[in-house]
Each structure stands twice: as C-alpha cells, then as structure tokens.
C-alpha cells in the first residue's frame, strides 16, 4: 500500500499514477477532496482519496489512523506535499511566510511520520521518500524561507534514515530542479531564458521524471540506498 501526499498536484499525481501502473494500491492525500476528485475521479475504484490539512498534527493523526483502520498497513510513504514562495529578503520576511513554508514543507513530513513510522516498524519495514529542492543546497536571495525549509527536509531525511535503518525502513529524498507543473508555469514564463540557461539538459523536467526517480527509490534495486538525496534536475546548477 502506497500513500502519497500532495496527490492532487502535478508531481503528486504523477507519482500516484506511476504506482498504479505497478498495480499498487494508492492512497491519495491532499488538502481538499474536491481537488482529488478533479484529478482522480470520484468513484474511488483506482485510488483511495482522503482530504487532510497536513500542517495540523491532530487532524493528520485522526485521518491517518482512520486510513490504517481501513487498510491495516502502509508500505511506502511519498511526502510530496509542499509549497513555494519568494520575494522578500530575509530581514523583511514576515513570520507568516516562514511559518507557512516550514509548516507545509517540513512539518507535514513530521506529522505523517509520527503516525506512519510506528506502523511501518510494527509491520517490519518500508520506504519513505521526502522532497527537497535543488535550491536547498545553498542560500538564494529572496528565497530564504523556501531554501531553509527545503534544506531542513534534507537534514531530517538524513536523521530519520539513521534512526530507522535497523527497522528496515529506508528514508531518502528527491531533489527536483525546475519541473514543469501548473505551479511553476508562471515563474517559467517570467524567467524563461534565465531558467533554461541553467539547465545543461536544455529542457524542463517533467513530473514523470520525478515519479520515475521515486519509483526507483521505492524498489528493491535501491535497498542499499539510505539517507541520500537524489538530484533530478537535468544537471541544473545555480549561477
């Protein structure tokens, strides 16, 4: 059983469909049921749909515990949910933006883990995939809160990997570059020439590029990989 957060987004939906092609049972989680039904349909024949605000610990626990009652165990958790924002320099950035990005990018992982890691331990192991960002490898002007929150995701991934290795749980991180989704389209149109100039592969990433990487890290072929950040960015560098 695979659980994917942020499932209604471009990356999350690609990951869900990847696992469905592998004949896995997929639990798709996002903030609103209507968003999920728009992407996956409402008959729940192929995907199990659940709405939850992952930034709220109690609500997350309640929904995930209900899922575990219905489905007994989760073997793979893909923490795809996240957010992006930029604009202000660090000294002008309001607490609300710091809180928003750390809640969505980091605390969502902490909240799912608090419920699903004990289930994995009880059932003998599993795989956890988190999502960092290429920009998280160094500070970037006007993106302080975003880069800090995604950098924290990478460090937490490493900590979890060390803590859970003896429990037969592999924890790894995907670090995307510029991936073409509805969320990034507006940014791309504004900075098209600059973005493409930084991608040696000379194309934007597709959601399937991320889904394929997630699939590899969840496969038996990656059993010796733990606590790593896999960069999926076409060789992208930061100027």
The encoded tokens of residue 1 equal: 């059983």
Cβ distance 220 to 163 under 8 Å?
Answer: no
Which residues face 30 on adjacent strands?
Answer: 51
Give pairs for 220-225: CB < 8 Å, separation 24+. 222/170, 222/172, 223/170, 225/170, 225/172
Q: How far is it, in rounded angstroms, from Cα 51 to Cα 44? A: 13
Q: Roughly what angle, to the nearest 10 degrees, separates helices 144-164 and 95-102?
A: 30
Cβ distance 5 to 108 under 8 Å?
Answer: yes
Kind of pairing, strands 2-5 and 26-30? parallel
3-class SS of residue 22: coil
* Active-site residue set: 146
Cβ distance 172 to 126 under 8 Å?
Answer: no
């Amino acid at each position: 059983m695979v659980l994917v957060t942020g499932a209604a987004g471009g990356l999350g939906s690609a990951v869900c469909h990847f696992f469905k092609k592998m004949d896995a049972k997929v639990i798709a989680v996002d903030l609103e049921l209507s968003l999920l039904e728009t992407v996956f349909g409402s008959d729940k024949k192929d995907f199990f749909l659940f709405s939850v605000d992952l930034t709220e610990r109690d609500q997350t626990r309640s929904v995930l515990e209900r899922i575990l009652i219905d489905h007994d165990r989760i073997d793979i958790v893909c923490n795809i949910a996240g957010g992006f924002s930029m604009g202000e320099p660090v000294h002008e950035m309001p607490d609300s933006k710091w809180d928003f990005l750390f809640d969505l990018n980091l605390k969502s992982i902490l909240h799912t883990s608090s419920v699903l890691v004990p289930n994995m331990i009880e059932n003998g192991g599993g795989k956890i995939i988190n999502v960092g960002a290429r920009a998280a490898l160094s500070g970037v002007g006007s993106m302080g809160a975003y880069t800090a929150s995604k950098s924290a995701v990478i460090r937490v991934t490493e900590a979890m990997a060390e803590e859970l290795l003896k429990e037969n749980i592999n924890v790894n991180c995907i670090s995307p570059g510029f991936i073409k989704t509805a969320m990034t389209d507006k940014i791309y149109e504004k900075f098209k020439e600059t973005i493409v100039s930084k991608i040696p592969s000379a194309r934007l990433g597709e959601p399937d590029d991320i889904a394929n990487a997630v699939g590899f890290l969840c496969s038996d072929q990656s059993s010796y990989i733990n606590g790593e950040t896999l960069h999926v960015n076409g060789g992208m560098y930061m100027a």
